[in-house]
Structure 1
Amino acid sequence: MSARAELEFPAWPQFDDAERAGLLRALEQGQWWRVGGAEVTAFEEEFARHHGARRALAVTNGTHALQLALEVLGLAPGEEVLVPAFTFISSSLAVQLAGGVPVPVDVDPDTYCMSPDAASAAVTDRTRVIMPVHMAGQVSDVDALGKVAADAGVLVLQDAAHAHGARWRGRRIGELEGPAAFSFQNGKLMTAGEGGAVLFDDDAMWEEAFVRHSCGRPRTDRHYRHRTSGSNFRMGEFAASVLRAQLARLEEQISVREQRWAVLRGLLSAIPGVRPQGADERCDRNPHYMAMFRVPGLGEQQRDELVDRLVGAGLPAFVGFRAVHRTEGFWRAAAPALSADELAERCPNSERLSRDCVWLHHRVLLGSEEQMHAVAALVAEEVGRL
């Protein structure tokens, strides 16, 4: 078998007759949007139940899910939201879209999740929300972050875009503190190409979110009495029908990825100079959205060259996120008074991760155990060439 054949992993997205049946069901019901249709409502009920939440609201995408949740939490213009410096830009962008000021804070160098100590140090009298990101499926230290929030009198919003099906000390995401926002973008663990959802444990918050996601219009309104500001963040029936099928196979896929990561992590750990993402054992169900590792000491150019060589060999590899304060877009809207260099001094772990982190698509972890050895052998070969 050729080296490239060894790296032929399962395709993503995955689909079968369940998605086909769902799309046909949505088509033939005669109503293709959530008002009058049945698929979005059914998906919300199933997704909430699966994650231990009282209610779920399906929306257009993960960025909108975060923005909507912040609005429902009462974020006022100019108030601050603590976000990890090492994350996809949507975490900070959603804060800016909701009128707030994102404040990047550093992450733990092992788990890549928001550091509770850094969060505590960043709290000011303008802080309204702490928004941890469950990076690559590793649940943030919600116990410590919850204490920081409680001590400061602020709220928690979970960015769970990577954490479908995750658990922390046996509790599902919907059973943890604060609303949780998910993404169903094409690469996510469940997908309809695009889409998002917010979990709530409070009926009144869900109702407020519904009104805001439907142009400020209450569910039963027939006279255009738009009660508040909002936008059209409604999910369509076709997307919901696909997501119902995706949800049905989620747990089986998570089990495979957990088994494969245990193998791959051990193999990567044995490669000189390679450090795979660590695990907080309190996260006792990690869905592994990404297989992440670092090569400490690499510069950004070397890391980019490494990723290019891995991709050229057939491995779906990607560079790690750029620290949000190192992106031009971050500074195009409300931002902290600190400069990028000053934020960098406060976020040294995020700076290093921006330069030396690599991640592999989660479909790699749906491959065979033998393929994990092939992946590790390729990484060892290419790192050894640096």
Structure 2
Amino acid sequence: MNARPAPEFPSWPQYDDSERTSLIRALEQGQWWRMGGSEVDSFESEFADFHGAPHALAVTNGTHALELALQCLGVGPGTEVIVPAFTFISSSQAAQRLGAVAVPVDVDLDTYNIDVAAAAAAVTPRTKVIMPVHMAGLIADMDAFDKLSADTGVALLQDAAHAHGARWQGKRVGELGTVASFSFQNGKLMTAGEGGALLFPDEETYEAAFLRHSCGRPRTDRRYLHQTAGTNMRLNEFSASVLRTQLSRLDAQIALRDQRWTLLSRLLGEIDGVVPQGGDPRADRNSHYMAMFRIPGISEEGRNALVDTLVDAGLPAFAAFRAIYRTDAFWETAAPDTTVEKLAESCPHTEAISTDCIWLHHRVLLASEEALHSTAEIIAAAVGAR
């Protein structure tokens, strides 16, 4: 099908002797949990500094990070959280597990980020948090969301699971004045297999989160005087040691991905019937967690078959997220008082993107320019054959 041989892409996760050294360092300190060791503390300091935040808290995974942040922002039964309808389902499930209603709203057809006007229209007296998700590393319109938050008094929680190292008008995620949540799951831009983190703009919320992530127990407690309800979301020392090394590579990897996306998006845009994810010049650094593109007019079945064709040709290709309201999981608990059909009607862009969008793993953007030309040729041939 393709004129060139199958392209070669770097493996993921990437690691070398630096991770081995870090793991041995964590092993030989003799304390393997965060309350006795130093790796988690050091990682939190380094991660906060990298993102320009006063405080960071490492936790077990990105979903727990969202859940913990929402709890600290007052989310619970009787409240609502506005989320994009096009996102990974953890964005909504984190709210629903706290008993809050997740309210899906539509996204922008070009950037795939949550639509500000749609979010504003969904605010009610019960709305506690609005959750912009920085899709594929492209930061959402934080200027508009800051204004919406100020006008309504509703807090913002950045779901930055895709946006390690991203910037908005020169500001890093931790400099945007809200709590932000990250994931270190195996496919993420930096990883320890699992893990997550939160950035905090103030000490009060950070301290509240620390208590809740450690079973409500203060750091120095020796008498089991648990001060608040919580659970165990503590990250272990081995994972933190790996993440410290992963963080040291992140800046250079983002620079390369950004450069490669400039080429790949141009090549994709030259293919008849293919529309790459758009951008926003105010998002002046995109971490490019996914290389995303649409095939407008294709059916979901046709898109899925096209993904299979691309995988068979050697590309790490995936179907885009399903609209969260089109999953059984969304309706299991704390669902809004509406129907799939009504939500679909209010989210036409989500319906389109969920049907016709494909994404490539970010390791594609760490490959050579020749590999990207081959990638585009494979996609062009597959789309043309369809």
Q: Same fold (TM over 0.5)?
A: yes
Measure the CA separation in 1 of the matches of 2:215 and 2:344: 39
Counterpart residue identity of residue 217, structure 2? R
Counterpart residue identity of residue 319, structure 1? A
Counterpart in 2 of 1:170? 170
Given that 1:4 and 1:313 are in contact with CA atoms closer than 8 Å, whether structure 2 keeps it comes out as: no
Counterpart in 2 of 1:265? 265
Is the counterpart of residue 355 in structure 1 residue 355 in structure 2? yes
Q: CA deviation at 1:20?
A: 0.5
Q: Deviations over 1:171-199 (max 9, x none)?
A: 00001131000000000000000000000
Question: Could you say if the C-alpha distance between residues 112 and 271 of structure 1 is closer, same or farther in structure 2, counting changes exceeding 3 Å?
Answer: same
Q: CA deviation at 1:201?
A: 1.3
Counterpart in 1 of 2:198? 198
Given that 2:47 and 2:56 are in contact with CA atoms closer than 8 Å, whether structure 1 keeps it comes out as: yes
Structure 2 residue matching 1:249: 3-state secondary structure: helix
Counterpart in 1 of 2:142? 142
Q: CA deviation at 1:50?
A: 0.2
Counterpart in 2 of 1:57? 57
Counterpart in 2 of 1:48? 48
Q: CA deviation at 1:230?
A: 0.8
Counterpart in 2 of 1:109? 109
Q: Deviations over 1:132-179 (max 9, x none)?
A: 100000000011112112211100000000000000000000011310
Structure 2 residue matching 1:181: 3-state secondary structure: strand
Given that 1:51 and 1:165 are in contact with CA atoms closer than 8 Å, whether structure 2 keeps it comes out as: yes
Counterpart residue identity of residue 18, structure 1? S
Q: Following superposition of structure 1 onto structure 2, how do residues 191-340 of structure 1 map, counting pairs within 5 Å?
A: 191-340=191-340
Counterpart in 1 of 2:345? 345
Measure the CA separation in 2 of the matches of 1:284 and 1:8: 29
Q: What TM-score comes out, normalization by structure 2 length?
A: 0.98
Q: What TM-score comes out, normalization by structure 1 length?
A: 0.98
Is the counterpart of residue 187 in structure 1 residue 187 in structure 2? yes
Q: CA deviation at 1:5?
A: 5.1
Measure the CA separation in 1 of the matches of 2:297 and 2:267: 20
Q: Deviations over 1:273-328 (max 9, x none)?
A: 10000000100011100000000011100000000000001100000000000000
Q: Which moved more, 1:76-85 or 1:298-307?
A: 76-85
Structure 2 residue matching 1:77: 3-state secondary structure: coil
Aligned length: 385
Structure 2 residue matching 1:359: 3-state secondary structure: strand
Unaligned runs of 5+ in 2: none
Counterpart residue identity of residue 203, structure 1? E
Given that 1:156 and 1:177 are in contact with CA atoms closer than 8 Å, whether structure 2 keeps it comes out as: no
Is the counterpart of residue 21 in structure 1 residue 21 in structure 2? yes
Measure the CA separation in 2 of the matches of 1:229 and 1:128: 20
Q: Following superposition of structure 1 onto structure 2, how do residues 22-101 of structure 1 map, counting pairs within 5 Å?
A: 22-101=22-101
Counterpart residue identity of residue 261, structure 1? W
Q: Which moved more, 1:70-79 or 1:340-349?
A: 70-79
Q: Deviations over 1:186-220 (max 9, x none)?
A: 00000000000000011111111010000111111
Q: Deviations over 1:221-242 (max 9, x none)?
A: 1111111111100000000000
Q: CA deviation at 1:3?
A: 6.7
Given that 1:131 and 1:158 are in contact with CA atoms closer than 8 Å, whether structure 2 keeps it comes out as: yes
Counterpart in 1 of 2:369? 369
Counterpart in 2 of 1:159? 159
Counterpart residue identity of residue 92, structure 2? S
Counterpart residue identity of residue 224, structure 1? Y
Structure 1 residue matching 2:33: 3-state secondary structure: coil
Measure the CA separation in 2 of the matches of 1:274 and 1:146: 33
Structure 2 residue matching 1:197: 3-state secondary structure: strand
Using the aligned pairs only, state the percent identity: 64
Q: CA deviation at 1:340?
A: 1.0
Counterpart residue identity of residue 326, structure 2? R
Structure 2 residue matching 1:293: 3-state secondary structure: strand
Structure 1 residue matching 2:83: 3-state secondary structure: strand
Given that 1:310 and 1:378 are in contact with CA atoms closer than 8 Å, whether structure 2 keeps it comes out as: yes
Structure 1 residue matching 2:318: 3-state secondary structure: strand
Given that 1:268 and 1:274 are in contact with CA atoms closer than 8 Å, whether structure 2 keeps it comes out as: yes
